[in-house]
Amino acid sequence: MTKNPNIDQPQNHVVTYLKLRLSIGLIGILLPFVLWAGNTLLNSFNVLNNTYWIKFNGVYAPQSNLKYSISHFYYSTVGELFTGALSAVALFLFCYRGYPRPTYGKYHFIPGDNFMANLAGILAIIVVIFPTSSEEIKDNMRSYISSENAGYIHYAAAALFFLLLSLFSFVNFRRTKRPEDFGKMKSHPIYKYCGLVMLGSMLILLILFVLEKTNIDVSWSQTYNITFWLETIMLVAFGISWVVKGKIDQSVINKNIFGNGVKG
């Protein structure tokens, strides 16, 4: 039987679009754990000192497998995995279109999905281009450590990136075809709380950053890798909201294709 191109082609486009959401969400959820596990495995098997796999100029002496922050994995054995994952997220965000900004209703002044996704993608690229600054890193895989100025650019881009992702969950994902139904659907509390978790984690990081710059002793935060865990919480919350949104849209795919919103 010949397929009807007017039906099948839009359907395939929507399926691909939903898989895009799923991919973005899964990368966010898995990234911190994959970086930690990958760095641990490479260090445990002493790969960089095994001439069967690699010729290293000197002897590589690995330090702690878990880093102070996710960004510090840039200087570790899995640095390319870190930059590759962020670049993939940026690419997916550039390809993401989503739903337009409503003309009225709650939070209608927040831009539509396309603008938010493109801006978040640009910020993700900036995070890659300008690595985090740091004190001396003994197991640094690079030939340099970014300057304090480059670090500030990195921090600002990362903060804005997470802010946009939290707004995506809190606002954009709770929009519906009817602006009056904003936040009223069954799945909307998930997006709301994911957004709030990200915002709360960002607030704690900001407080720690300010305390450190005012010479207040927050060395305990490095001892317990607090930044890494807060960033992990943000990425997991971000990933959950995108995965759930994709699944909800999949459930109504035959009812509202390329509409102004969905009832999820």
CA distance 72 to 173: 31
> What is the domain count for the chain?
1
Q: By the 8 A CB rule, do 178 and 211 touch?
A: no
Domain span at residue 124 reads 14-251
Question: Which pLDDT value is given to residue 258?
Answer: 41
**pLDDT above 70 as % of the chain:** 88
Assess contact for 248 and 198: CB atoms under 8 A. Answer: no
Q: Is residue 90, in this structure, part of any structural domain at all?
A: yes
Domain presence at residue 168: yes
Does some domain include residue 121? yes
- How high is the pLDDT of residue 252? 52
Residue 204: how many CB atoms within 10 A of its CB? 14
Half-sphere exposure of 57 (CA within 13 A, CB side): 3
List the structure tokens of 53.
Answer: 């796999």
Q: Report yes or no on 67 lying in a domain.
A: yes
* The residue to which tokens 């690595």 are assigned: 131
User: Which segments in the chain show pLDDT lower than 70?
Assistant: 1-17, 249-264
262, part of any domain: no
State in Å, rounded, how far the first CA of the chain is from the last one: 34
Domain annotation covers residue 7? no
Element (H, E) at 15: helix 5-44
pLDDT at residue 88 in the model: 95
Give residue 83's pLDDT.
Answer: 97
Please tell me the number of Cα atoms within 13 Å of 123 on its side-chain side. 17
pLDDT for residue 6: 45
Q: Is residue 9 part of a domain?
A: no
Residue 3 lies in a domain: no
pLDDT for residue 260: 42
Tokens 């929009």 identify what position?
175
